[in-house]
Amino acid sequence: MKVVITGGAGFIGFRLVKRLLEVGELTGPDGNKQAIDAVTLFDVCEPLDQPQKEGVTIKAVTGDISNGATVRDLIDRDDISVFHLASVVSGGGEKDFDLAMRVNLDGGRHIMEAVRARAGQPRLVIASSIATFGGMHMTNIVGDMTKQTPQTTYGITKAISELLINDYTRKGFLDGRSARLPTVIIRPGKPNAAASSFASAVFREPLTGVDYIVPVPETTPMPILGYRAIVEGLIHLHELHSDQLGDDRGVGLPSHTVTAGDMIQAVTSFDSNRRLGKITVQPDPFIVDIVKTWPPDAEWHRAQSLSFPVDGGLNEIIGNFIEDYLDA
């Protein structure tokens, strides 16, 4: 079978393809395990690296996801599964409404329509976000049964995509699943335009000897999960039998709720024998105004009942990051 990953040059997309090549197979549209023989990584830019595996054709394709013809060319087989991760992130979406709508909403529709055009009911996993929650009536602890009233353009596009996945699946057009992600840490490389980017930078920069200014108060809470568990969760969601999800195809992935102060404490006390960069706190009103619209805590009873993987928390996540990116 073929696997298409949009956002394939990104952090999670790249780790996902590496893990899929290790696994070697997924459940196909016919309900049976099928060997992965082709992978397409689609993004606006080329990946910095491209995994290789004997017997698997791996191709990187660049293009604009808001172009329907481009997307249809990607999804060119019936024995296919798609992981749709491409997105304009939170901070970028607030600064450019039209771009967020074109990429997140129109691009998502193009993916769904291209999968719909294939025979059978191929599985489509999309990455949603905890940013779908918000508003004046948001409870302190959100979960799969909480009403979604997002307060960012990014969150709006994700909430709409979740509803579309439900309806495309109800109609029998495809077998869709939405993974509602907490903040993913620790991202390597340079900060991106996500308002949550600080949640990775507060670890990444000090661990590489770079000073860092945290743009939110230390009391700021945030549900987080490490990247290894995120990747395993995406694959686990793909592999669930459709009946286990029913008519609500969205699942909030497991998370740990920590504050910015907890993050600072974890990295400064971690025994890594590294010279740490200095950490200071200086709230940025633009970032603070976005982050305060997000839920401070989350429950994940449904994910637990469906046996989703979860990591051990901040110390384990820091150790994984050092192993994968600093010592590698």
SS3 63: coil
R_g of the chain, CA atoms, integer Å: 19
**Known active-site residue 168:** no
d(CA 172, CA 168): 6
Cβ 230 vs Cβ 253: under 8 Å: yes
300, amino acid identity: W
Cβ 133 vs Cβ 149: under 8 Å: yes
> Which is it for strands 38-43 and 2-6: parallel, antiparallel or unpaired?
parallel
Structure tokens at 308: 């989703």
Q: Which of 154, 168, 212, 227 is catalytic?
A: 154
d(CA 68, CA 110): 5
d(CA 215, CA 195): 9
d(CA 74, CA 145): 34
Residue (of 168, 193, 196) closest to 182 by Cα position? 196
SS3 286: helix
- In 172-199, which positions are buried (b, 16+ CB within 10 angstroms) versus exposed (e)? ebbbbbbbbbbbbbbbeeeebebbbbbb
Residues forming the active site: 154
